[in-house]
Chain A
Amino acid sequence: MPPLTQKLIAAVLIFVAAIGGLGYAVYAKTVENDETQAKIDALEAEISQFQAVIATREEKERQRLALDQILRDLVSILPPYSERQEELVQDALTAYASGAQLKPKRLAPTVVQGPPAPNAAPQPPRPPGAASNDFVRIDLRMGFEGTFFNFLKFLYRVETHDSFLRVDEIQLAPLPYAEGPQPENRELAIVVKVSTYQYVPK
């Protein structure tokens, strides 16, 4: 084989090898660059979403201030937090009963922590995320004897109490009949269940 041919073959082989190696390098670099570009695109997309979320921050802070103010105003209808709230309510009910000439029979206070009992109706609605554990319900069941109209006076005073008091249950039954008073003045056995709520932010 003439030396020129040998050289030519060698040169062709070298070129083929060089072009093959460089071609692979181009392919590998292109793939690597595409992957990096894809990562950048993903980051850019997330950054755009983040920017949209961050842009709402000021508005949300304003909303929070407004909601806090509304909550403060609304919560003012409930009695202020006191460890002896149950006693205070009991005292108020006793005073109203006495003012309405009802005779107290018995007192059986019960304190319920947390959201309203499941059987209590109408239920305060609890949307998802509601921090209903911030509210403590206090139930008081009281018994009296007195006439219907005196009971209505008592009830009116309870319901117009300075802070929130709700009448949940009432039982009225006539006491055994005795000679004397007309039906409308007959004494009744009265049982009332009153509840209130306290806001105790956790």
Chain B
Amino acid sequence: MIEINLLPPQYRTVERTPLPVFLGLITGIVAVAGLGLFVIGLSAKGRALEERRVQRAAVHERMKKEVEDVRKLDRELQESQGRIDTVLGIAESKVYWSVKLDQLARLLPSGTVWLEGLTLDPAKLQLVCKARGSSWQRFTDLRQRLRNDTNFDYQFDQIPLTPIEVVNPGPQYTEPSVLSFSMTLPLRQVEQGPQGLPR
């Protein structure tokens, strides 16, 4: 069936959009527009951040080169310090043996103990001695004399005990038997600091 509205247009009922639907539409449009604007804002912020990143990356790159120069300087400083420590180590490693041996000659009891040989190597000073008589007291006396002289002794570690023999010294001596012993004086090593540096 076909319905025909015969009322004049001004009297006809107009079909309007229901208010809730209209409000819903408006809300939807506002929400979409708001989100759209937010996305635009985020994009703008993103561009600004990217520009800032590029600018900081350029600064970073420039500074990196300067830092490399400073690191090179650090290496040079370390090398210089190493050279200085090496020269100091060389200087500290020198022992004035002329003075040491002169002290030793003065410390030997005159007429009772004499040297038959002397060997110095980087680790120790070794004395080959003979002593008049056959009492071991000669050995302990000499050891004590060397230990008691601080000027002489400070460069040596403790003197170990070594074998002592009573021997026939040979025809050039009037005495039939003498004491023969060697005395080893270990050299005190230069103390090393935590990084191999001298204290």
Interface residues of A (CB under 8 A from B): 4, 8, 11-12, 15, 18-19, 22-23, 25-26, 29-30, 32-33, 36-37, 39-40, 43-44, 46-47, 50-51, 53-54, 56-57, 60-61, 63-64, 67-68, 70-71, 74-75, 77-78, 115-116, 119-132, 134-135, 148, 152, 155-156, 158-159, 164, 166-174, 177, 183, 197, 199
Assess whether A119 is in contact with B122, with CB atoms less than 8 Å apart.
yes
Assess whether B87 is in contact with A75, with CB atoms less than 8 Å apart.
yes
* Residue numbers in A under 8 Å from B66 (CB-CB): 50, 54, 57
B39's nearest neighbour on chain A, judged by CB, is A25
Q: How far is the CA of A177 from the CA of B192 in the complex (A)?
A: 45
Contact for A74 among B35, B49, B91, B192, CB less than 8 A: B91
Assess whether B81 is in contact with A125, with CB atoms less than 8 Å apart.
no
* Residue numbers in B under 8 Å from A174 (CB-CB): 116-117
Assess whether A172 is in contact with B117, with CB atoms less than 8 Å apart.
yes
* Residue numbers in A under 8 Å from B198 (CB-CB): 125
* Residue numbers in B under 8 Å from A39 (CB-CB): 53
Query: Cβ of B107 < 8 Å from any Cβ of A?
Result: no
Per-residue interface assignment for chain B, residues 13 to 38, with 1 indicating a CB less than 8 Å from any chain A CB and 0 otherwise? 00001100100010010011001101
Which applies to chain A's interface (DSSP): helix, strand, loop or mixed?
helix
Chain B: interface residue total (CB-CB under 8 A): 81
Query: Cβ of B167 < 8 Å from any Cβ of A?
Result: no
Assess whether A40 is in contact with B52, with CB atoms less than 8 Å apart.
yes
Which applies to chain B's interface (DSSP): helix, strand, loop or mixed?
helix
Contact for A121 among B81, B91, B123, CB less than 8 A: B123
A177's nearest neighbour on chain B, judged by CB, is B172
Interface residues of B (CB under 8 A from A): 17-18, 21, 25, 28, 31-32, 35-36, 38-39, 42-43, 45-46, 49-50, 52-53, 56-57, 59-60, 63-64, 66-67, 69-71, 73-99, 101-102, 105, 114-123, 170, 172, 187, 189-190, 192-193, 195-198
Assess whether A124 is in contact with B76, with CB atoms less than 8 Å apart.
no
* Residue numbers in B under 8 Å from A124 (CB-CB): 85-90, 92-93
Q: Could you list some 29 contacts between A and B, CB below 8 A?
A: A11-B25, A18-B32, A22-B39, A33-B45, A36-B53, A39-B53, A43-B56, A47-B56, A47-B63, A50-B63, A51-B63, A53-B71, A57-B70, A64-B77, A67-B77, A71-B87, A123-B189, A127-B81, A127-B85, A127-B197, A129-B75, A129-B78, A155-B101, A156-B98, A166-B95, A170-B101, A170-B120, A172-B115, A172-B117
Q: How far is the CA of A119 from the CA of B189 in the complex (A)?
A: 12
Assess whether A19 is in contact with B53, with CB atoms less than 8 Å apart.
no
Q: How far is the CA of A30 from the CA of B66 in the complex (A)?
A: 35
Taking A71-B80, A172-B118 as given, write out 12 further A-B residue pairs in contact, using a Cβ cutoff of 8 Å, ordered by the A residue number. Answer: A33-B42, A39-B53, A40-B49, A47-B63, A54-B70, A67-B84, A123-B190, A126-B85, A131-B82, A152-B98, A169-B121, A183-B114
